[in-house]
């Protein structure tokens, strides 16, 4: 099974930046450098501050930390869940889901 490298998330509440409206975000699986300065456990716990540091590094269009901090909590949860899913090893995933494998 090949691991997922990107995820497209449609936002419940689009982000407004002046005239621009962002309705969907594409996240790219982070490399180790994109995780610098952040504890992996904080990302797995969906810590808002940790997500506000990492999401701008892996999002397209690029989010600012202020975009993340003003985001609808439901949208932040969607994005954070995808980030956490990127961090899980293949052995912890079943059919591409976040469900733990049963052995």
Map 39-82 to HEC letters: CHHHHHCCCHHHHHHHHHHHEECCCCHHHHHCCCHHHHHHHHHH
* pLDDT in the model for residue 92: 77
Over range 19-29, report the average pLDDT.
Answer: 96
Averaged pLDDT, 45-59: 97
Q: Report yes or no on 98 lying in a domain.
A: no
In this predicted structure, the answer to whether residue 39 has a pLDDT above a threshold of 90 is: yes
Is residue 15 a part of any domain in this protein? Answer: yes
Range of the domain at 13: 6-91
- Domain count along the chain: 1
pLDDT digit string, tens, across residues 54-102: 999 999 999 999 999 999 999 999 999 999 999 988 887 665 555 544 4
In a domain, 1, yes or no: no
Partners of residue 55 on adjacent β-strands: none
Give this prediction's pTM.
0.84
For CA atoms 81, 82, 87, 88, the dihedral sign is positive
Average model confidence (pLDDT) across the chain: 89
Has residue 85 been placed in a domain? yes
pLDDT of residue 101: 41
Residue 96 lies in a domain: no
- Residue 97 within any structural domain of the chain: no
Is 34 part of a structural domain of the chain?
A: yes
Paired tokens of 19: 């005239």
């Amino acid at each position: 099974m090949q691991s997922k490298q990107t995820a497209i998330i449609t936002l419940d509440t689009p982000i407004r930046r002046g005239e621009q409206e962002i309705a969907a975000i594409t996240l790219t699986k982070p490399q180790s450098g994109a995780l610098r300065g952040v504890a992996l456990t904080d990302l797995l716990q969906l810590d808002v501050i940790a997500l506000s540091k990492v999401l701008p590094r892996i999002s397209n269009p690029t989010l600012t930390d202020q975009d993340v901090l003003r985001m609808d909590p439901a949208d932040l949860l969607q994005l954070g869940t995808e980030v956490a899913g990127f961090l899980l090893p293949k052995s912890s995933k079943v059919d591409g889901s976040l469900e733990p494998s049963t052995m």
